[in-house]
Amino acid sequence: MINNTAEKLPTIAILGGTGKEGPGLAMRWATVGYPIIIGSRKLEKAHATATRLNEKLSIDSITGLQNNDAACQADICVLTVVATAHQAALQGLKLGLKGKILVDATARVEFRDPKPPKPPSAARIAQDMLGPETKVVAALQNVPSHLLKQNLGATIDSDVLVFADDKTAASEVVKLVQAGGMRAYYAGDLDSAIVAEGLTAVLIQMNKYYSVKTASIGINGLDV
Ligand SMILES: NC(=O)c1ccc[n+]([C@@H]2O[C@H](COP(=O)([O-])OP(=O)(O)OC[C@H]3O[C@@H](n4cnc5c(N)ncnc54)[C@H](OP(=O)(O)O)[C@@H]3O)[C@@H](O)[C@H]2O)c1
């Protein structure tokens, strides 16, 4: 469904958007009208991913830039670099992320031996590194990349826990995630985001046990 209203949607940069998780998010938001910038360490790789996704959707609103340029040009940034590069990637992005919301999707879990990580949460580490001028919001840790790529434009069966110290930033991210076809709920502060990272370890073990790639979470009892 394309957004035809007069409202100007924010530009979303997906930093490290060339891997497994980033492209599904990019396609979901592009499908409903958000301008998307794919970020990469390499400009050519960012361009190649943007071109591939545009062709898939028959659109031209996805562009590609190096991560820092992508952050500078976006209104909201989403971090989907491989979890082992989380802190290294953030080092170079501090200036570009100033004054912005950073949605941190990082779940520091090894696929081969999935175990819940120890606190502090990746998002708390990000917030401490970036300082108060960036509002870090943790979200999307429990949404498998395979699910994101299915039924673009339709709601997927996955609930998203959204964590932030700043509830206004959290509300904006809840709306963004909902626009991408997921249910989303505020779930606590950045320290609590360690639970979402741990849940990713649980979901990977369930995927392996049940031979699927799409295990996700659902929340009951909220009338919102
Ligand atoms: N995969 C999932 O189903 C899933 C689900 C929920 C959350 N997540 C989280 O989302 C994040 C991305 O996961 P993914 O599976 O998409 O990862 P991925 O495909 O392994 O990697 C994503 C991107 O990270 C970038 N990268 C690799 N090494 C880097 C480095 N040293 N410095 C900076 N960037 C580097 C690469 O981009 P360039 O080479 O283009 O720079 C790569 O395309 C992780 O934190 C993961 O926990 C993943």
Which pLDDT score, from 0 to 100, does residue 6 have? Answer: 55
Q: Residue 125: enclosing H or E segment and its boundaries?
A: helix 122-130
Ligand 1 centre from 36 Cα, in Å? 17
This prediction has a pTM of 0.97
Name the packing angle between helices 43-57 and 21-31 (round to 10°).
Answer: 50
pLDDT in tens, 166-197: 999 999 999 999 999 999 999 999 999 999 99
Catalogue the E-assigned strands of 46-158: 62-66, 76-79, 101-104, 135-138
DSSP-derived letter for residue 45 is H
Query: Which range, of 44-48, 127-131, 132-136, 154-158, averages the lowest pLDDT?
Result: 154-158
Ligand 1 centre from 142 Cα, in Å? 14
Exposed/middle/buried for 109, CB within 10 Å: 0-12, 13-18, 19+?
Answer: buried
Tell me which residue has tokens 């501090």: 94
Per-residue CA distances from 98 to 61, 67, 95, 172, 221 (Å) = 24, 14, 5, 17, 37
Atom number of ligand 1 nearest to Cα 89: 33
Topology of domain 12-210 in CATH is Rossmann fold (3.40.50)
Atom number of ligand 1 nearest to Cα 81: 24
**Contact predicate 12/79, CB 8 Å:** no
**Contact predicate 216/144, CB 8 Å:** yes
Q: Which of helix, strand or coil describes residue 208? A: helix
Joined together, the tokens standing for residue 210 give: 């049940």
Q: Minimal CA–CA distance to 173: which of 69, 91, 100? A: 100
pLDDT of 53 above 70: yes
Q: Where are the domains of the chain?
A: 12-210
